[in-house]
Structure 1
């Protein structure tokens, strides 16, 4: 018998590893892991762990966990994937670097950036489709260039 914590941990991992677009799809992924769950249970679990729907680069609405393991550093490959999929524009104003994303995706990018502890960045503030990154340097050109490079738009 799988505990609630074990099931929710597995759901968090599956959502991070796959583009999960629906609860029935997640139920199938759980079954492949040997975990039986009903739609009602999966729905409650997604709500408990704070899963949200975001628009992926493919255009599909998929589940994401904004604070996936917030105390762990985000691997560089993960940060590049997130930035490449969801950052459409990088602009600079003084020490503030502004990133534009599809609607509903800014918090996912901000979380990945915050967890990666990018050199020269103090932190982020995210809205729906825009986030601000604060540079340590009064001139944020180096941070903006680094973020453009990570997003593949330099």
Structure 2
């Protein structure tokens, strides 16, 4: 796992565990995890992860990962970048495709795939480091193998 992937994974975890209201606060939390970085780097990470500010109970604004927006289509280049950075393995069985990611990263990949409008993909189910993609019935003759090949290619992985 690259330093960037580890840092972004840690940011995702910290935002889920703490009410993080500012980048300086996030920098302190990262430092507590042994990850010294700059505010500019954290700002880029937050942007790449799609982190937003939401109003928490009590009126404070805190960072959060957005809910899946099914009507927002992700640009193809963004999908290729997300898959290339976060997907470690792609395999298939029947009409299912299983993708493996570093711990805590499956939801990032699932969200990008769900917003990708890739033909033949019905949707995803994400855990911590694994997600399942369901191939549409129109792809059933080839099963998930064709979808797996496309995703493997987008991720830059060899068959």
TM-score range, shorter chain: 0.5 to 0.7
Tell me how large the CA RMSD over aligned residues is: 2.8
Q: How many residues align?
A: 107
Q: Check if 1:140 corresponds to 2:144.
A: yes
Alignment of 1:2-151 (within 5 A): 23-24=23-24, 25=39, 44-46=61-63, 50-51=64-65, 65=66, 67=68, 70-136=70-136, 137-138=139-140, 139-151=143-155
Q: 1:66 to 1:151 in 2, by over 3 A?
A: farther
Structure 1's unaligned 5+ residue stretches are 1-18, 30-42, 52-64
Report the CA distance between 1:86 and its aligned residue.
Answer: 0.2
Structure 2's unaligned 5+ residue stretches are 1-7, 12-21, 25-38, 44-59
After TM superposition, where is structure 1 displaced by more than 6 Å over at least 4 residues in a row? none
Report the TM-score, using the length of structure 1 for normalisation.
0.61
Report the TM-score, using the length of structure 2 for normalisation.
0.59
